[in-house]
Amino acid sequence: MSGLNGSLGVSSLLLLEFRQSVRLQIRLQLNDRTKGFTQIQGQQMLNDLQVDLNSGLLTTIPVDWSAVHQRAEALSSAHTLAAGHCLVDILHVSTALHLGVRNFLTFDGNQKILAQAEGLKVAP
């Protein structure tokens, strides 16, 4: 992020997935102290995300979800049987393709395979 010029565009799907994941990790930790994040840690992550949105470091990019879903159906048909991609990974890649981005950020190995198969330059 420190080398980024301008803001990083994100979809509402990415924001929803991040927030949901943090909330789930808080719940996991409440049920088993060896798992997940504490409520304080999770709330700090959600607060930091909101600060990044408010400051313009992250910018929500509008998406035509109907078009993304059509593209996702095509990706699912082309790749899922062979590589076992889950829906959220397909939606993220189809969103990127719909928006015409070339660079794709992910820490998910299977998502990376799909993005690369569709011609996206993946980092890290």
Q: What is the pLDDT of residues 51-85, one digit of tens each?
A: 999 999 999 999 999 999 999 999 999 999 999 99
What is the chain written as a DSSP string? Answer: -TT--SPEEE-HHHHHHHHHHHHHHHHHHHH-TTSS--HHHHHHHHHHHHHHHHHTSEEEPP--HHHHHHHHHHHHHHHHHHH---HHHHHHHHHHHHHT-SEEE---HHHHHHHHHTT-EEE-
Angle at 21 between CA 19 and CA 32, to 5 degrees: 130
CA distances from 12 to 78, 92, 116 (A): 25, 10, 22
Residue ranges of the domains in the chain? 8-60, 65-123
Instruction: Answer yes or no: is pLDDT of 6 > 90.
Output: no
Read off the pLDDT of each residue in 86-98 and give the average, rounded to a whole number.
97
Read off the pLDDT of each residue in 37-54 and give the average, rounded to a whole number.
98
Instruction: Answer yes or no: is pLDDT of 33 > 70.
Output: yes
CA distances from 47 to 52, 53, 61, 101, 106 (A): 9, 10, 20, 27, 22
pLDDT recorded at residue 108: 95
Instruction: Using pLDDT thresholds of 50, 70 and 90, give the confidence band for residue 5.
Output: confident
More confident residue, 53 or 2: 53
pLDDT recorded at residue 17: 97
